[in-house]
Every structure is written in structure tokens, then in C-alpha cells.
Amino acid sequence: MGCFFSRRRKPAQGGQLPPQQQAGAGQDAATGEQKAPQYSWDLRAKIDPKDYTFSGLKNETVGRLPGKVAGQQFVIQDCENCKIYIFDHSATITIDDCVNCQIFLGPIKGSVFFRDCKDCKCVVACQQFRTRDCRKLEVFLCCATQPIIESSTGMKFGCFQYYYPELALQFKDAGLSIFNNTWSNIHDFTPVSGENNWGLLPETAVVQDYVPLPSSEELKAVRVSTDATKSIIPVTRGQRQKNSDESCLAVFFAGDYTTANARKLIDEMTSKGFQLVQTKEVLMKAEDAHRVFQQNALEFIPLLEKGPVVALEFNGDGAVEQCQSTIKEVFSGTKVFVSESKASASQDVDNFYNFADMQMGM
């Protein structure tokens, strides 16, 4: 652990304060009296922890509107039978000793930690997700890293699906990519032999049946939709068993329309009955391109300097042919890597996601 020392500044020559401490110092024009100096840290808005805490509530609906948390830490504790909505991005959130609550948490730049909670239903987007000593949590999750449960039982997970107009910008403010979501890749820190402490929610699970839309007049102003087709996060199958032995990899390279193009291809393919298995946004280097794109690497290496790539895996009989024809028709002016054949596609998928998982420390 490093140590931090506070050093006092010596007065400048002549006994004057340094310039940065002179702000607000000087004589009062009206009285001629010397004013006390104002320091830059005195001018910061004071943070009241009560504005970032829900504690000891029962049978209430509470929340924070977009812009009201603005990247601060938040604490939720000792709440029972409550509906709680944080419609903003935050630094970290801890949820302690909550029972039978329904909770929505907007994008969290760092970690969300549930401790000693039971019978809660949640929608959560975060960099890190962890539970300890929890029972019966049902979570629609977007998590950039591998979610961890510890000493917890009866946990169920589904893919985050939610929309309101400010949510996309909040993901950016929290430093989260909408394409990096490992919601179903759970690590159980304390497994019990012969038992399974977690599972997946039914594919047919509807968010609104678990965490209903807010009913208070204040929170209804947030224009929420839980329609999976409108979700900010693309809804993926994750670890669920694939319906087909044919998958296809498509990779978009950085540019002004990368996100829009990826979403367009998702819409085109899913509307034809193909399933989106997983997505990833990650930086690549030339040596990575050789490993992933094989003989096509030289064509794509110059594009890697512009920023991260977005990769999509689609599954279903005929996925490769359909993906190729869609890209040719819809993205004719855009360079996209797409699997060449059913035979090579599974290797493409493995090559890319093995690289991406190593890159992200999974």
C-alpha cells in the first residue's frame, strides 16, 4: 500500500500566497478590509451522503432521475418490500441486508456488491458483479467481467434488457461497452459438491414481470421500455445450449458507424430467426489479427489502428450464408470480416473469443 503525505506549501517570496491560493484573497472593495483567501477545494460542491443512500425503507417506491447521481457512489441498505430505481450512472453501489426488493441499477463504472440480501429481483449493468451470503436473487445482468457469487444460493441470471433515452450516454460515462456482457459466465467462489448454487432464468423471462416499470409520478417521467428489441444491450444467448452446430463470426472495425452497423446486422439476422450468441468489443494488434483472421489478416491489419473491433457470433442452420449475403447487400461499402464457410466458422469463433477472453483477463 502506498502512503500519501500532505505537504504544506511555503509562502512565495515576500510572504505572499502562491497564485492558486490567492483566488478570492485581497481587499473588500466596499470596506477596505482584507478578505480571507478562498481555496479551490472550498469552491467544490459539498456532497451530502444522504443524497446517495437509501436506508431502512419499507414498502416504498424510490429512485434517482437521470443526472441526479452523476458518477457518485451509492449505498442501498436495510430495505424491505421496496421498488428502487437508479436511472443514472454511478461509481460503485453496495446493497446490504435487503429483502424482497425490486431494483434497477443504471451503469456502474466499478463494482456492485450484494451482501446478505434475499428474495430480490434486479436489473443491473456494471463492470464487476459480486454477491456474498445472498439467497434467491434473480438478476438481469450486463457485466463486463466474470460475475462472482460467494456463499450464495438460489441465484438466477438473465441478459440485461432495458431502454430509456439517456441510457446509452450513461453507459459511455461509466466507461462500459454495450457489447461486453458476460452475464451467464458465472464463477461460484464457494461451490458445494452435488449442488448448483446458480442457474439461468427462462429464455422467455420478461424483465417487466420481475422489475415492473416505476409507478410514481416522478419516476414515470423516465421513458422506460423493457422490450428486448429496443434494449441498449444486445440480448445474447450466452452459455445456453446452441440450437445448431453452425455459427458465424462477423467483425466490424472501428469507424463512425461501427455501433450502428453492428446493431443493424443483429436486427437483420435475428429477424430471420438466427440467434445472437455473444458479442465483444476489444482492441486488436497485428499479431492478434494473424491468429484470428488467418490468411485474411493483411487485409484487416491497417484497420486495427482506428480503435476496437466489435465481434458478433450468430447461430443457426445457414448462418454463414445468410450473414455473408446480408453484409454484401446492406454493408457493401464497409469492410467486415465474416466467416467464409461453415467448416471454418467454428474455428473463427473459437480463435476470436479465446483471444478476447485472454485480452480481458477472463
Task: Report pLDDT for 194.
Answer: 85
- Mean of pLDDT values over 4-33: 47
Count of the separate structural domains present in the chain:
2
pLDDT averaged over every residue in the chain: 89
pLDDT in the model for residue 92: 97
Instruction: Provide the residue range defining the domain that includes 87.
Output: 49-221
Closest CA to 102 of 77, 125, 126, 119: 119
Mean pLDDT of 80-95: 98
Query: Could you write out the DSSP letters of every residue in 109-131?
Result: EEEEEEES-EEEEEEEEEEEEEE
Q: Is residue 215 located within the same domain as residue 299?
A: no
Q: CATH number for the domain including 60?
A: 2.160.20.70
Residue 12 above 90 pLDDT?
no
For 131-158, the pLDDT digits (tens) are 999 999 999 999 999 999 999 999 999 9
Q: Which residues carry a binding-site annotation?
A: 110-111, 127-130
In a domain, 9, yes or no: no
Write out pLDDT tens, residues 268-281: 999 999 999 999 99
Annotation: binding site for GTP: 110-111, 127-130
Tell me the Ramachandran region of residue 46: left when phi exceeds 0, alpha when psi lies from -120 to 50, beta otherwise: beta
In this structure, are 104 and 189 located in the same domain? yes
pLDDT on residue 332: 83
Flag whether pLDDT at 362 surpasses 80. no
> What count of Cα atoms within 13 Å lies in the side-chain half-sphere of residue 203?
11
What's the rounded mean pLDDT across residues 92-106? 98
pLDDT of residue 9: 40
